[in-house]
Structure 1
Amino acid sequence: MKTLLRRSMVRLGLVGLVTALALTLAPNAAVAAYPTNPYNAQSACGGTGWTQLATKQLTFYYYGVVRNAAKIYVMYRAGYNCVATIVQWEAGTASPVVAEIDVEGDGKGWIQDSGEFKYYAAVKAYAAGKCIRWGGAHSPEYLVQSQSEFRQEVFTFCG
């Protein structure tokens, strides 16, 4: 009886160990399933020649681990600014993505490119001699209440 009890405890211990290992590796398996985004900030903004002014990494928690949701880029070229939110988590799967810009004194307020996109959202505005505010967001498809977002509320990048 004592031997049988000991064997049962060992088996339960192994089952518990295998289960814990499977649960630990499961989030990493999901990460590997999504392809790398083929687009970058230059291509999202419409080609080459853009100068990168700033970036902001958007993150969220997934199984207790910080994951990269998307990255916002602020770009400049010949009087124009471009804000591009490049999807990192679930690239290739349509999910809510936002890129937004506000040019100081133009009277338009925040303008956005927002919707269900697979790879990026990007918005451009003419801002020569003016300052801008910028922001973006990405909400991975199955994380209904976990939107990663950022909005620069102070006007910056004047010129």
Structure 2
Amino acid sequence: MRKSAKTALVSAGLAVGAFTVSPAPAIAAAYSPEGVCGAGYARVSDGSRAIKTPSGSTFGHVYLLYSSSNGTNCVVTIKESYVGTATRTIATLEVQGSGKLTDDKSYKYYAGPVKASAKGKCVRYSGLIYDTRIQGEIAQGGRTTFGNCG
């Protein structure tokens, strides 16, 4: 009887362990573009782009948000691969007629927010996420043309 009870406990433990979710994806899911940019920012039309490798793997998304109260855009790159592992992650925002603003460091969850005043101007945005391997792929995405003028 003891042997079968022990076997049942081990089996139950394995079953519970099989459904345990790693905390890193849960933490990453807690980050939203709106939460990172702050109060008053909302996603714009065409303000979400997948960050993909040349082979088609999606490593995350880059988001463009806008605050109509202060005329400021905000860009955030949120990782979906290598979450919880510090990898080079980049968020870039460019206002037409101005230089690029970039947040480029090793991050566990997201890069940004990158903010710039853009009332009455067009913007473009991009994000990059690097693979953890030495010669790994680089995923990139965003909008290469100026848009969201306003």
TM-score, normalization by structure 1: 0.69
Q: Deviations over 1:33-87 (max 9, x none)?
A: 5523021101221x232111110011348xx8x5430100000003000010001
Structure 1 stretches lacking a partner, 5+ long: 1-31
Instruction: State whether structure 2 residue 50 is matched by structure 1 residue 68.
Output: no
Identity of aligned pairs, percent? 30
The higher radius of gyration belongs to: 1
State the match for 1:135 in structure 2: 126
- Residues matched between the structures, number: 123
CA RMSD across the alignment: 2.3
Matches within 5 A, 1:44-59: 44-45=36-37, 47-53=38-44, 54-59=47-52
SS of the equivalent of 1:154 reads strand
Partner-residue secondary structure (3-state), 1:43: helix
Return the alpha-carbon distance in structure 2 between the equivalents of residues 143 and 88 of structure 1.
Answer: 19
Task: Indicate the residue corresponding to 1:91 in structure 2.
Answer: 83
Deviation at 1:114, TM superposition (A): 0.7
Q: What's the TM-score once normalised by structure 2's chain length? A: 0.73
Q: Which stretches of structure 1, 4 residues or longer, exceed 3 Å deviation after superposition?
A: none
5+ long unaligned stretches in structure 2: 1-20
